Amino acid sequence: MEKSINRRLLLKLLGAGGALATLRPSLAQTSSQAETPLPSFTGPGPNPYWNGVHPYAVYPQKLPLLRMTDRPVQLETPRHYFRTAFTPNEAFYVRYHLDEIPNEIDLSKWRLKLEGNFERPLELSLEDLLTQFKPVSIAAVNQCSGNSRSRFQPRVSGGQWGNGAMGNALWTGVRLKDLLDAAGVKPGTVQIQFEGLDRGKGPENLGSGRFIKSLDLNDPVLEETILAYAMNGEPLPMLNGFPVRLVVPGKFATYWLKHVTWIRALTEEDKNFWMATAYKVPDTPNGSTTPEDVAAGKVKTVPIGHFNMPVRSFIIDPDGSSPLVVGLPVKVRGVAFSGHGKVVKVEVSTDDGNTWRTALLGPDYGKYSFRTFEFTWRPSAPGKYVIAVRATDEKGNTQPDTPVWNPGGYLWNKIERQEVVVLAAK
C-alpha cells in the first residue's frame, strides 16, 4: 500500500503521472487481446467486427479457433491466420451440418465406393488412391457459402459467420475424372453424387439424416475437381474431411464434401434436401433480391453451384486493435481471390473509398488461390481513417460497394473496410 502511494506521489512530482495513472486504461497484452471479452453479438445491426463474435475453443488437431456451435462443429478462423497465402491446416475453419461425424477411422476397413450407373463399380482403399492414380495438386480457396453472413441487413438466420469461414490450401489428390474413367460412366448419367461419413439423428431421407451433394456430369468444373488426401502437404485434419475430401475449385464449400466415401453416377437429377431446398440463391445476376420480393413469392432460385465465388479481398493488417503513429509506415496487408479467375489488381483506399491506389500483389499460386497484397501507407496527420480494399479479377469482375441481400445470407462480396486511428508523434 505504502509503495503505491509513494509511486503516485513521485509521478505527481514528475508532472507526468497524475493523468496517466488515472485516465489511461491498462494496456492490452497483445494486439488482438483486449482486457475484456467481446459481449456476444446478436444484432439487429450488421456485425461490425471482422470475425464473428464467438469464444475461442481448442479442438483436436486445431489451434484455438472461434467456436460458433459445438454440435455440429462450426469453427471460424481468426483474422490473423490470413496473413499468408496458405491457411495453416490447424487454423482452417470447420463447418458441419450434422452432428455424427467421425473421430476415428480404420483405414483397413475404409473404402471409397464408386457405385450406381458405372460400367465397373469400384471399391478403393486409401492406398489404392495413393498408388494407382496420378497425384495432382491445386491451390484453391474453400469458402463457406454463408461466409460473412453476419453482415446482412436485415439480418438473416443461420450461422452468424464473420469473414473467417474460408481458407486456402494446396490440395493434393486424385483427379475425379481419373476415378470416373476407371469406373466407366455409363450413358444416361446426368449427375455425380457425393456422400461422406457425416450423419445426423434425423430420418435418413431428410436433410437432418444425411448430407449429400451432386454435380452435373456436364459441369466444366468436373475437369478440375479432385479428391484430396493431402492438404498443404499433410494428411487432412479429421475435422476437415480425413481421409479424403472433394475439392471443387471456384465453387462454394457446400460442394466440397468431407470424408467422401460414396461416389454415385445418377441417371436422374438429385432431389435431396441439400440440392433441391438448401443452398439456393435467387436467379439474378449477383444472387441479390429483397425481403419484399421474397415475401411476395416472386423469387426464382437456383442451386448456389450455378455461381462461381464472387471476387473478394480482405484487410488483415492493420486490424484497428492499436493506434497507428503519424509519420511511421504501416503495411496494409491481406488476401484476395475470385472463383472466376486470377486476381489481377488489388486497390487500397485510405480515405473510405474516395481515392484508390494499387497495391503490390504477392506470388501467383494459380487462379483459385488466395493472392496476398501489400500496400505501404505513411499517415501524415493524426485522426480517424477508414481503409478500404477492392479486388479485380482477370475477367474484369470488381467488388461492388453495395451489399447483396438474399434469405440464405450467401454471396457477400461488398468492399471491406477497416477503421484505424492515427495518433500524433509529438
Residues that bind other proteins (CB under 8 A): 3, 6-7, 10-11, 14, 16, 20, 24, 26-27, 29, 33, 35-37, 39-40, 42-44, 54, 56-61, 64, 67-73, 99, 103-108, 155-157, 159-160, 200-203, 206-209, 238-239, 242-243, 273, 277
CB-nearer residue toward other proteins: 62 or 367: 62
Peptide bond into 187 cis (omega under 30): no
Closest separation between CB of residue 91 and other proteins, Å? 15
Closest separation between CB of residue 21 and other proteins, Å? 8
Q: Which one, of 177, 253, 157, lies nearest residue 213 by Cα?
A: 253
Closest separation between CB of residue 238 and other proteins, Å? 5
Closest separation between CB of residue 37 and other proteins, Å? 6
Closest separation between CB of residue 33 and other proteins, Å? 6
Distance CA 275, CA 255 (A): 10
Please identify which residue in the block is written with the cell numbers 421474397: 294
Closest separation between CB of residue 206 and other proteins, Å? 5
CB-nearer residue toward other proteins: 20 or 328: 20
**Strands, E, within 127-242: which ranges?**
135-143, 166-175, 191-199, 210-216, 226-231, 234-235
CB-nearer residue toward other proteins: 68 or 227: 68
Distance CA 164, CA 52 (A): 8
Distance CA 313, CA 30 (A): 25
Closest separation between CB of residue 221 and other proteins, Å? 28
The most distant pair of C-alpha atoms in the chain lies apart, rounded to whole Å, by 91
Closest separation between CB of residue 208 and other proteins, Å? 4
SS3 (DSSP) at 166: strand
Determine phi and psi for 121, rounding to 5 degrees: -55, 140
CB-nearer residue toward other proteins: 154 or 396: 154
In order, the DSSP letters of 315-378 are EEE--SSS-EETTS-EEEEEEEE-TTS-EEEEEEESSTTSS-EEPEE-----TTS-EEEEEEE-
CB-nearer residue toward other proteins: 64 or 320: 64
Peptide bond into 379 cis (omega under 30): no
CB-nearer residue toward other proteins: 74 or 225: 74
CB-nearer residue toward other proteins: 116 or 146: 146
Provide the pairing of β-strand 301-303 with 280-282: antiparallel
Closest separation between CB of residue 310 and other proteins, Å? 23
Please identify which residue in the block is written with the cell numbers 467481446: 38
CB-nearer residue toward other proteins: 39 or 363: 39
Please identify which residue in the block is written with the cell numbers 512530482: 13
Q: Which three cell numbers stand for residue 119?
A: 460400367
Q: Which three cell numbers stand for residue 395?
A: 475477367
Is-contact 337 141, C-beta < 8 A? Answer: yes
CB-nearer residue toward other proteins: 328 or 360: 328
Distance CA 39, CA 22 (A): 25
Distance CA 333, CA 410 (A): 25
CB-nearer residue toward other proteins: 22 or 354: 22
Closest separation between CB of residue 153 and other proteins, Å? 10
